[in-house]
Every structure is written in C-alpha cells, then in structure tokens.
Amino acid sequence: MEVIILPAAPDVGTGAAGIISRLVAGKPGAVLGLATGASVKRVYAELVLAHQNQALDFSRVTTFNLDEYAGLSPSHPASCHAFMEEHFLSRVNVDRRRVHLPPTEGDDLAGLCEQYERAIRAVGGIDLQLLGIGREGHLGFNEPTSSLASRTRIKTLTSATREANRGGFGDDEVPLHVVTMGIGTILEARHCLLVADGPAKADAVARMVEGPLTAMVPASALQLHPHATVIVDEAAAAGLSLRDYYREVQGNKPHWQR
Ligand code: GLP
C-alpha cells in the first residue's frame, strides 16, 4: 500500500484528483469506480475545475458507483444518485449512457446485482476505484464482518453508519438496507485510491494500513491489493505508527516511480 500524507484536507482532494486527471488524460475511455461522502467532495470539485480550466474530457469515461440506499428514490437529496448529480455528473461532460449506479429496486434485486457485476466485466473492469473509509473501517457499505470475497449485493447497515449518515435525511429514517459493491469487486479494480481526512478517521486508517487483515475492518483487505494508494491528511494519519517512514518513502521516490 502506498501511503501519502499531506498537510490538510484540501491537499488530499487535490492529490487524488491529480491522479484521476492523469489517468483520464492518458486513457480517455477509462472506467472509473466512484464513491460518495464528505471525503470525496473535494476530489470532485477539483475534477470539475480540471474540466472547466484544462478541458479535461470525460465524454468517453465510464463510471460505476460503489453503493446506494435500497428503495430510496434517486431524487432524494441524501441518495448517492443526488450526490453524484450535484458534485460531479451535472458539472462535467460525462455521457449519461456510460454512467452506472447500483440497482436499488425491483423484485429480483439479487439478479440485478449480478447484472451490475456483469456490466463492470463487460467494459473490461474498473481502472481506478475511488474510495472513502467509514469510521469503523467500512469500504462502500461493506460493514464489519463483510466477506472479503463479497460481490455486489444487499447489505444491512450498522446503527453507527446510519447515525453517521443521518445528515441529508432530515425527518426521514436512514434506510436500513443498501446495495454495495463487494470487497471482492473492489479488489478487482486495477488501482484503488482511498482518501481520508480529519481526526475521526485516524483509528480506521491505522487499522486499515497497519492492523491485521480482518473482515472486522473491511478496508484492511486493501493490504491484499497490488496497487492501492491511500491519501490522508495529518489528522487522519495521526494513528499510523510508521508515518515517518511513509514520509521518507514519498520524499525519496526514484524518478521512475513518480
Ligand atoms: C459512507 C459511504 C462510504 C464512505 C463513508 C465515509 O458510508 N458508503 O463509501 O466512504 O461513508 O464517508 P465520509 O467521507 O462522509 O466520512
């Protein structure tokens, strides 16, 4: 795992957006796995700026989102659909025919989840999967004890996640069920790029990077990934025992590795 520690949250957004921009500029038909949440908002803001100021072209990009609340209308302000519309899709020149969000309704939701997996495979897999991390170490909505081999499926949220995600729901209940790519799905992306900032994420980041590989911390599965990049600010890096080492690695990268 490559760990990049930057001074503050805005730097994390800029750093992650830079990686995605370089990918899209070099591979205009890239397949992006996208995420929602406060941590990734700045990443999208920077990508929108790159589109506006440097003409970064998303017209041939294909996107697959990580997760969504089951049964929630796409127009609900707290849905992942609405988040993506507000922060990214409506602001860049993405082709809607190539935008995919997980299925959340239908008599055969399990079958639709399998179809989602097939759609990812049909375009040759995900080039880069953007990720945030939950306070308990979840990826997407893969809560603790999720199978590390799991695929896109229906999950039940923990009360801690429902509480953390309450914002935007107002008087409405936070749904109990969600559809999320599995850990196995995420691990098949060719590059996993995780961003985290703030002290509330320090424990989860430390357990993901330096703790044992365990389904109790689903993000620790990234230890198995051949190309995982973790970009954190100082506050989210506070629990990492080897943080000086990670800084040294970044400060002394040979030119062929940059
Ligand atoms: C949600 C999302 C995750 C996200 C996590 C952290 O539960 N399903 O994909 O990584 O929250 O969100 P935030 O960045 O808002 O802290």
Look at ligand 1, atom 4, and give the residue with the nearest C-alpha. Answer: 132
Asked if residue 141 has its Cβ within 6 Å of ligand 1, the reply is yes
Q: What is the mean pLDDT of residues 76-89?
A: 97
178 strand-pairing partners: 69, 155
Asked if residue 137 has its Cβ within 6 Å of ligand 1, the reply is no
CA–CA separation, 239 and 205 (whole Å): 7
| Per-residue pLDDT at 160 | 94
| Per-residue pLDDT at 62 | 98
Asked if residue 39 has its Cβ within 6 Å of ligand 1, the reply is yes
Share of the chain above pLDDT 90, in %: 97
User: Is 90 exceeded by the pLDDT of residue 257?
Assistant: no
| Per-residue pLDDT at 190 | 98
Counting from 1 in the atom list of ligand 1, the atom nearest the Cα of 39 is 14
CA–CA separation, 217 and 49 (whole Å): 34
pLDDT tens digits for 31-45? Answer: 999 999 999 999 999
Name residue, tokens 């990686």. Answer: 19
224: amino acid identity, one letter: L
User: At 149, is the pLDDT very low, low, confident or very high (cuts 50, 70, 90)?
Assistant: very high
Asked if residue 140 has its Cβ within 6 Å of ligand 1, the reply is yes
User: Is 80 exceeded by the pLDDT of residue 56?
Assistant: yes
CB 55, CB 84: distance < 8 Å: no
CA–CA separation, 199 and 143 (whole Å): 20
Q: What is the mean pLDDT of residues 95-101?
A: 98
User: Is 90 exceeded by the pLDDT of residue 58?
Assistant: yes
| Per-residue pLDDT at 256 | 83
Q: Kindly state the tokens that stand for 171.
A: 């008087």
Closest CA to 145 of 223, 221, 215, 220: 215
195: amino acid identity, one letter: V
Q: Kindly state the tokens that stand for 224.
A: 């198995």
